[in-house]
Homo-oligomer: A and B are copies of this chain.
Amino acid sequence: MTDWFSKHRPLLDKALDACARRYSWSGWPESPSTKIHGEEKPAAGQAAFEAMLQADFPLTQPGEVARVGEEVSPYTGEPLGVRYPRPDPAPLFAAIAAARPQWGATTPEQRVGVCLEILQRCGEQLFANAHATMHTSGQSYVMAFAGSGANALDRGLEALAYAHKAMADVPATARWERSFGGDGAACLDKQYRLLPRGVSVVICCATFPLWNTYPALCASLATGNPVILKPHPAATLPVAMVARVCREVLAEAGFDPNLVTLAADTREAPIALQLVEHPDTAIVDFTGSPRFGAYLEQNCPGKQVYTETAGCNSVVLESTDDLAATARAIAQSLCQASAQMCTSVQNIHLPADGVRVAGKKVPVAQVQAAICEAVDGWLAEPRRAATLCGTLFDDAVLDNVQRYRELAGERLLRDSAPLAYAEFPAARTASPLIIAATEADRDLYRQEVFGPVSFIVANHSAQGCLDDATSNARECGAITSHVYSTDEAFIDAAVEAYHAAGASVAVNLHGMPINFAAAYSDFHVTGLNPAGNACLADLAFVTARFRIVQSKRMAA
C-alpha cells in the first residue's frame, strides 16, 4: 500500500499548524479562473459532469434495491436524470459489519493517510463538483467551486487534523514499573489501541452538501468508523462523487470499499431514521433543519450526535463611520447564495431613534434605504448578481419568499423579484425581500426564514437591539452575529452579551464577505445555543469518535 500518510504529511502538518495558530490558509485553490487553471481542466470538469447526467451513477454497493434520483437543476429546471443506489439497510449494514474489523485494526496513521488521499482526489474533481453543486444546490459556479470546493475540503482537512491530534495524544506503548512494598513489584509492558465506536451516519444538507460532509467523513473514518453518507435528495450528486472517490481509494489501498457507502433516498420514502436507529450506528452527523436536528439530539440515547442546524442570525447596527460601507457589507450577506447559507444574516437591528453615523443620528428610514440601495448595488450588474446570488435550490424557498411578501404588507422595504441570468433563462431566482419590523413583530423574525428574506428591526434603543438579538440567539439559535459600532463600550458590552447568549460575534466587518467562516480559524457553531451542538472543528468534534482499549503484560 502507498504510504499516503508520509506522502501527505506536509499538508497535514500545515493544517495542524494553521489550527494551532488560526491564521488564514487554504490547501486548495479557491478560484476557478482559467488564468490559474488553464482552459483544459475547467472544460474537462464540465464534460465530466455532463457525462454523468441521465445515467446510473457508477456505484456498485451491497443491498441495492432500487435506483433513485430526484435532482432537478435550479438553473435549467431540467431533471439531472442521475440515478443512485437506494439500499436495503439490512444487507448494507451486514456488508459494513464485514468491513469493520480490518479497518479498526489498521493504524491511525494509515487511516489518516487514506483520508488525506481522499481529500486530495476530491480536490482533483473540483470543476466537476462545481457543476454538480450548481445544478443541485443552486450555488453559482464561483461559489460552488470555492465554498463547496476549497472551503469545504479545508474544513475536512481541519477535522482530520484534529482527529490526528487526538489519536496521536495516546501513545502506542508504555513501560510501567513500580514496587508495591510488601505486596511485590511489577514491570508491565502496556499497549494502547484505539477502537472505533461503530457505524457513522452522515446526513448531508441540500444547500452546502459537502461543507459539513468532509469534516464528518474525515473525523469518523480516520478514527476507524465506517461511514454511510446520506445525501439530501435534492443534492445527491456532489456527495455521490465523494463516495465514489472514497471507495476507489479504499479499494486501491486494499480495504473494503464498503467502509464508505452512499444511501440515497427520496422525499417520499426517506431512509435517514432507519440508518440512525440501526443498532450498529454509533455516530450521527446531521446538517439541516432545526426540527430534525433537535429530534436527533433528543432521541438517540447512547449515540454520539453532532448537529449543525440554523438560527436567526443578526446584525446589531448601533453606529458606523461609513453607512454606505456598512450597508454594503450587510447587503452582500443578504444576497450571497440567496441567503441560503447558515451564516446569512436575517435580522438587522437598529435603534428606533436612528443610527449614529460619523457622530450624527441618521433616521431609521435612511438606514433602511441605504441597505436596500446597497442590495440594488450588488445586483446592478447581472453577471455579478448571478455569481453572488446563485439560485434557489427548491421551490419551497420561492414559496417562503412569496409567503413573507404577503405577510409584509405595508412593511415591505424592498420587494423580491426574479433575477435574469443570461446563460440560464429558466433559473429559479429571487432577489432579497426586506421587511421593516418592530418588536411587535417578534413572532415574524424569531425563527429561521430560509432564503432571501430579511428584517430590519427597529428596537426601542441600542440596548434594546442587543437584548433582542441576543435573546433570539439564545432561544432560537445563531451561527453568526454581527455588531457595527464605533463605541468601544458598546462593542465590549455586545461581545459580552452575545457570548452570554452562547454566540460568537463579529465586529465591524467591512470590505469582505461577512458570511465567510474560515477553516482552521473560525470555530463554527458554538454548541451553546439551539443552532447545533457540534463545532467545526475542535477536539470535542473528534475525541468521542473513538475509544481506547489496552493490554498490559508482565515483562519477563
Q: Across chains A and B, which 3 residue pairs bring their CB atoms closest together, nearest first?
A: A22-B174, A184-B511, A186-B512
Given contacts A23-B175, A301-B297, A539-B166, contact A551 B495 (CB under 8 A): yes
Q: Which of A184, A193, A332 counts the most B-chain CB atoms under 10 A from its CB?
A: A184
Q: Are the C-beta atoms of B23 and A512 separated by less than 8 Å? A: no
- The distance from the CB of A174 to the nearest CB of chain B, in whole angstroms, is 4
Q: Which of A178, A502, A549 counts the most B-chain CB atoms under 10 A from its CB?
A: A549
Asked if A266 lies at the interface with its beta carbon under 8 angstroms from chain B, I say no
Number of copies: 2
CB closest residue in chain B, given A508: B554
Alpha-carbon separation in the docked complex, A495 to B528 (Å): 41
CB closest residue in chain B, given A189: B507
For A299, the chain B residues whose CB sits under 8 A away are: 301
For A538, the chain B residues whose CB sits under 8 A away are: 170, 543, 548
Given contacts A22-B171, A527-B547, contact A553 B508 (CB under 8 A): yes
Q: Are the C-beta atoms of A176 and B550 separated by less than 8 Å? A: no
The stretch of A364-372, A444-452, A518-526 in contact with B is A518-526
Q: Are the C-beta atoms of B23 and A176 separated by less than 8 Å? A: yes
Q: Are the C-beta atoms of A553 and B512 separated by less than 8 Å? A: no
Please list 24 pairs of residues, one from A and one from B, whose beta carbons are closer than 8 Å in the complex, sorted by A's number.
A22-B190, A24-B178, A180-B513, A183-B513, A190-B521, A192-B523, A297-B301, A491-B553, A498-B549, A499-B549, A502-B547, A503-B549, A505-B549, A505-B552, A506-B551, A507-B553, A508-B554, A509-B552, A509-B554, A522-B550, A523-B548, A528-B547, A535-B547, A538-B543
Q: Are the C-beta atoms of A174 and B23 separated by less than 8 Å? A: yes
Within 8 A of B (CB), among A301-356: 301-302, 332
For A297, the chain B residues whose CB sits under 8 A away are: 301-302
CB closest residue in chain B, given A505: B551
18 other A-B residue contacts (CB within 8 Å) besides A174-B521, A184-B512 = A21-B171, A23-B174, A166-B539, A176-B518, A180-B516, A183-B513, A186-B509, A190-B521, A195-B526, A505-B549, A507-B552, A507-B553, A507-B554, A508-B553, A509-B552, A522-B552, A538-B548, A543-B544
For A254, the chain B residues whose CB sits under 8 A away are: none
For A298, the chain B residues whose CB sits under 8 A away are: 301-302
CB closest residue in chain B, given A30: B181
CB closest residue in chain B, given A195: B528
For A22, the chain B residues whose CB sits under 8 A away are: 171, 174, 176, 190, 192
- The distance from the CB of A319 to the nearest CB of chain B, in whole angstroms, is 15
- The distance from the CB of A180 to the nearest CB of chain B, in whole angstroms, is 5
Asked if A440 lies at the interface with its beta carbon under 8 angstroms from chain B, I say no
- The distance from the CB of A325 to the nearest CB of chain B, in whole angstroms, is 10
Q: Which of A165, A491, A512, A551 counts the most B-chain CB atoms under 10 A from its CB?
A: A551
- The distance from the CB of A390 to the nearest CB of chain B, in whole angstroms, is 15
Alpha-carbon separation in the docked complex, A195 to B527 (Å): 10
Chain A 21-36, CB within 8 Å of chain B: the 1/0 string?
A: 1111000000100000
Asked if A236 lies at the interface with its beta carbon under 8 angstroms from chain B, I say no
Q: Is chain A's binding surface mostly helix, strand, loop or mixed?
A: mixed
- The distance from the CB of A172 to the nearest CB of chain B, in whole angstroms, is 10
For A186, the chain B residues whose CB sits under 8 A away are: 509, 511-512
Q: Are the C-beta atoms of A526 and B508 separated by less than 8 Å? A: no
What's the tally of chain A residues with a CB closer than 8 Å to chain B? 75
**B511, B522, B543: the one within 8 Å of A539 (CB):** B543
Alpha-carbon separation in the docked complex, A544 to B509 (Å): 30
Asked if A177 lies at the interface with its beta carbon under 8 angstroms from chain B, I say yes
- The distance from the CB of A33 to the nearest CB of chain B, in whole angstroms, is 9
Asked if A20 lies at the interface with its beta carbon under 8 angstroms from chain B, I say yes
- The distance from the CB of A527 to the nearest CB of chain B, in whole angstroms, is 5
CB closest residue in chain B, given A298: B301
Q: Which of A169, A491, A500, A533 counts the most B-chain CB atoms under 10 A from its CB?
A: A169
CB closest residue in chain B, given A528: B547
Asked if A504 lies at the interface with its beta carbon under 8 angstroms from chain B, I say yes
Alpha-carbon separation in the docked complex, A197 to B177 (Å): 38
Alpha-carbon separation in the docked complex, A193 to B297 (Å): 25
- The distance from the CB of A144 to the nearest CB of chain B, in whole angstroms, is 16
- The distance from the CB of A152 to the nearest CB of chain B, in whole angstroms, is 17
- The distance from the CB of A398 to the nearest CB of chain B, in whole angstroms, is 27
Q: Are the C-beta atoms of A21 and B554 separated by less than 8 Å? A: no
For A518, the chain B residues whose CB sits under 8 A away are: 176, 178
Alpha-carbon separation in the docked complex, A350 to B436 (Å): 79
Asked if A185 lies at the interface with its beta carbon under 8 angstroms from chain B, I say yes
